[in-house]
């Protein structure tokens, strides 16, 4: 996938993103692991994900496909110097749900293909390509309720 990270900010600047997990740990790009900020004397230059200025105030970047599926916060920083630094200003943040192969959005669940297995009851929701499964859940039919378990 590409361009999963989006940020709006005045064009002509240098922005970068930082991915954080639910425990507020930051994605160390080279080490391919979430860690506390500053582990091993690392700084913003070790955690940055480059964003490209597409004009009109829109910046985009690629979410690292090595990051496991989950919900993440994308922090957007305005780079002041030649390299990302811990003193750069935070200019935005957003939530991103990563399936392991793409970003999960309500639009994809509602507008794209969904297939239910009649034997197991599992419902698989597909990405824009109609072939990549982005979410599967299996309803559990009890006596008085139906429980949905995403996987």
Q: Quick: pLDDT tens for 133-148.
A: 877 888 776 666 666 6
Residue 87 has pLDDT above 60, yes or no: yes
Calpha distance 118→44 (Å, rounded): 49
- Higher-pLDDT residue of 68 and 133 is 68
Q: Cα 87 to chain center, whole Å?
A: 24
First to last CA, the chain: 20
Q: How much is the CA Rg of the chain, to the nearest whole Å?
A: 18
Q: What is the mean pLDDT of residues 60-74?
A: 94
């Amino acid at each position: 996938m590409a361009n999963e990270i989006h940020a709006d900010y005045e064009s002509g600047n240098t922005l970068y993103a930082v991915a954080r997990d639910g425990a507020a740990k930051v994605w160390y790009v080279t080490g391919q692991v979430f860690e506390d900020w500053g582990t091993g004397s690392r700084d913003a230059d070790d955690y940055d994900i480059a964003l490209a200025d597409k004009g009109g105030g829109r910046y985009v970047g690629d979410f690292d496909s090595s990051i496991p599926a989950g919900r993440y916060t994308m922090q957007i920083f305005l780079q002041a110097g030649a390299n990302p630094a811990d003193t750069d200003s935070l200019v935005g943040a957003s939530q991103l749900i990563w399936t392991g192969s793409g970003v999960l959005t309500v639009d994809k669940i509602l507008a794209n293909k969904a297939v239910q297995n009649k034997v197991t009851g599992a419902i698989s929701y597909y990405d824009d390509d109609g072939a990549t499964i982005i979410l599967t859940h299996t309803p559990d039919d009890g006596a008085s309720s139906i429980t949905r378990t995403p996987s």
